[in-house]
Amino acid sequence: MEELRGSRSAHTMIFPGFCDVHVHFREPGFSYKETIASGSRAAARGGYTDVCAMPNLNSVPDTPDHLAEEERLIRESGGFCRVHPYGALTMGEKGIEAADLAGMAGRVIAFSDDGKGVQSESMMRSLMETCRRLGRILAAHCEDERLVAGGYIHDGRYARAHGHKGICSESEWGPIARDVRLAKETGCAYHVCHVSCRESVEIIRRAKAEGADVTCETAPHYLLLTEDDLREEGRFRMNPPLRSREDREALIEGLLDGTIDMIATDHAPHSAEEKSRGLAGSAFGIVGLETAFPALYTGLVRTGRMELEELVRLMTEAPRLRFGIPRPAEDWCEWDLEAEYTVDPAEFLSMGKATPFEGRRVYGRCLRTVCAGKETWRAE
């Protein structure tokens, strides 16, 4: 990769600024979990210069007026990274009435109801037709609520052994199968959020072979952890859940063969109290911006599963190419790849501290991040 170059020493590298197309910055409406400013600082510490913020907010950005509130907060956030808002697909993310997609199209990076799956096929078809007409990506949270039925971890060995309610894989791959069919029929540019299971990978692989305009992402925790890593702690509860070893292997294979297009964190902070109720009672979601590259570099590159250049591409070039996000030449991040340390959430700049990587030994420390020529992070 031409942009991947050494700096200062053999183990210090400069990379292009990372890009994450799936974060939750919780403003407006939930600033006790995270603010755009605190989330942006965390992004800069993780080497990110561009992030795309999901719309499950209050007010939901489902009209130009509601979107304006989030845009104001972004302008006032301090410029630690560029924050690109999503617009909601449906009013209030309730799946009943389409949001004002045309009114927001020129001001959002894409449209999504992330956090909620669009349950109605006819509604999804109509939304895809509108997104195609507007030339915008539809990014889908794929979840059949009928099949989830109150589950909160993967419906596998751990759930059965410990008496937990499981979430079956079909609750994810079923909606994906429906949506890729609709995407082929409508010509919509369709993107699948946080893919977690092997059936989803195979459906997307087949859809691409058939010429559908389909891309997808997965997250670091699905590539590095499984249900075997679960503990009776809220920091292991996320949606979709950690799945089986076979699912993880399918995700890695999907990354290596190009079926999975990019890595996103699904950074989803909550308060300490909301994450203190164990697996059964905690809120869904973990933070990821400050651990993504170190965890992946340690778990995939240093173990020989993936080349460093490919990991960097999946976190920089690939998301920018799909979502049309330019990278100025003055965006970059510098990493010490030999720095070894234990992940300690007390050091996070994010207000959220829940991470399944807490206590893990990782390699790779971000020394400096520069966004648009401005230094936004420097390690002490």
Q: For residue 257, what is the enclosing H or E element?
A: helix 245-257
283 C-beta neighbours (distance < 10 Å), count: 20
Strand order in the sheet with 262-263: 111-112, 138-140, 190-192, 214-218, 262-263
Q: Which of 139, 141, 151 lies closest to 118, judged by CA?
A: 141
Does 266 participate in catalysis according to the annotation? yes
In 314-358, DSSP assigns E strands to 332-342
CA-CA distance, 84 to 87, in Å (whole number)? 10
Q: Exactly one of 155, 266, 336, 344 is catalytic; which is it?
A: 266
Strands 5-7 and 190-192: unpaired
Written as six digits, the tokens of 24 are: 């939750």
CA-CA distance, 265 to 287, in Å (whole number)? 8
Q: Which residues contact 167 (CB under 8 A, 6 or more apart)?
A: 147, 148, 151, 152, 153, 154, 155, 239, 240, 241
- 48, 365 in Cβ contact below 8 A? no
**Residues classed as catalytic:** 266
